[in-house]
């Protein structure tokens, strides 16, 4: 039964992928990762595409890599927050949260970073790939108890077979998922880092929006 559920989950993902409108490629010095952007989070999708067009993710870096958790790219929290302190007249600009039912932190998803603002609004210039770990029923039960939420049967099965970071659900906006190159994302998450989770050798990436022929 478990195998059947997982297979059906992947079929659903594949079907959903064909109906999505936008795909991008992360071209890294570890290889390429293709990402499907969710149409269910259109504001984050469009904000990200605007950032790509503006060159924000040209020669960017995965600058905080926490093994079996996430690989974070773009600007660091300190960079953003220090800039805001130096220029208080500009305010602390955040992008409105876009957390949707059925979109969760399974392995391979793309999320928007943020600080601890109570609105859970996103940074304009930080993203992360979820790697996470395979979860047990006991671990998922503990998350449900702490966060006062219930995982669907499909979500629970994916967390138990594919893995992810379920304790982030409901707190960060997820706006896409990897459809090719998960091995590259795993390699990025496995690079050597210092005590602050900064890669010892830069992991550089560029983002390219794909045409229909390139998908």
Q: What is the pLDDT of residues 182-213, one digit of tens each?
A: 999 999 999 999 999 999 999 999 999 998 87
Q: Are 127 and 110 in contact (CB under 8 A)?
A: yes
Segment 12-17 shows an average pLDDT of 44
Q: Are 174 and 109 in contact (CB under 8 A)?
A: yes
Q: Is the pLDDT of residue 1 over 70?
A: no
What CA–CA distance (Å, rounded) separates 73 from 127? 5
In the prediction, which pLDDT does 125 show?
Answer: 93
Classify residue 121 by its DSSP letter. P
Q: Is the pLDDT of residue 6 over 70?
A: no
**Token pair 């890294």 is at which residue?**
28
Percent over 90 (pLDDT), the chain: 80
Please provide residue 4's backbone torsions phi and psi, each rounded to the nearest 5 degrees: -60, -45
Q: Are 204 and 137 in contact (CB under 8 A)?
A: no
Name all contacts of 49-54 with Cβ < 8 Å and 24+ positions apart. Answer: 49/22, 49/24, 49/209, 51/124, 51/125, 52/24, 52/207, 52/208, 52/209
How confident is residue 13, by pLDDT bands cut at 50, 70 and 90?
very low
Q: Is the pLDDT of residue 50 over 90?
A: yes
Q: What digits encode the pLDDT tens for the residues 87-103? A: 787 777 899 999 999 99
Element (H, E) at 63: strand 60-66
In the prediction, which pLDDT does 15 show?
Answer: 39
Bridge-based pairing of strands 22-28 and 109-112 is unpaired
What CA–CA distance (Å, rounded) separates 25 from 180? 9
In the prediction, which pLDDT does 18 show?
Answer: 53
Regarding pTM above 0.85, the answer is yes
Compute CA 38 distance to the chain's CA centroid, rounded to the nearest angstrom: 12
How confident is residue 86, by pLDDT bands cut at 50, 70 and 90?
confident
In the prediction, which pLDDT does 211 show?
Answer: 87
Listed range (33-42, 88-97, 121-130) with the worst mean pLDDT? 88-97
Q: Report the half-sphere exposure of 89 (CA within 13 A, side-chain side).
A: 0
Segment 50-70 shows an average pLDDT of 96
Q: Report the half-sphere exposure of 159 (CA within 13 A, side-chain side).
A: 23
């Amino acid at each position: 039964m478990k195998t059947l559920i997982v297979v059906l989950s992947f079929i659903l993902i594949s079907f959903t992928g064909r109906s999505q409108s936008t795909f991008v490629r992360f071209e890294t010095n570890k290889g390429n990762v293709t990402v499907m952007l969710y149409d269910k989070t259109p504001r984050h999708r469009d904000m990200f595409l605007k950032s790509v067009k503006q060159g924000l993710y040209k020669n960017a870096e995965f600058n905080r890599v926490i093994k079996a958790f996430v690989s974070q790219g773009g600007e660091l929290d300190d960079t953003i927050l220090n800039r805001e302190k130096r220029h208080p007249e500009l305010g602390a600009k955040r992008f409105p949260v876009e957390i949707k039912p059925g979109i969760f932190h399974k392995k391979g998803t793309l999320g928007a970073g943020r600080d601890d603002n109570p609105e859970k609004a996103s940074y304009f210039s930080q993203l992360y790939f979820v790697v996470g770990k395979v979860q047990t029923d006991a671990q998922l039960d503990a998350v449900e108890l702490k966060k006062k939420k219930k995982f669907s049967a499909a979500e629970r099965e994916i967390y138990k077979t594919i893995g992810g970071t379920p304790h982030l659900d409901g707190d960060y906006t997820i706006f896409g998922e990897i459809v090719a190159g998960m091995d590259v994302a795993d390699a990025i998450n496995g690079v050597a880092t210092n005590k602050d989770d900064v890669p010892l050798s830069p992991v550089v990436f560029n983002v390219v929006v794909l045409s229909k022929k390139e998908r």
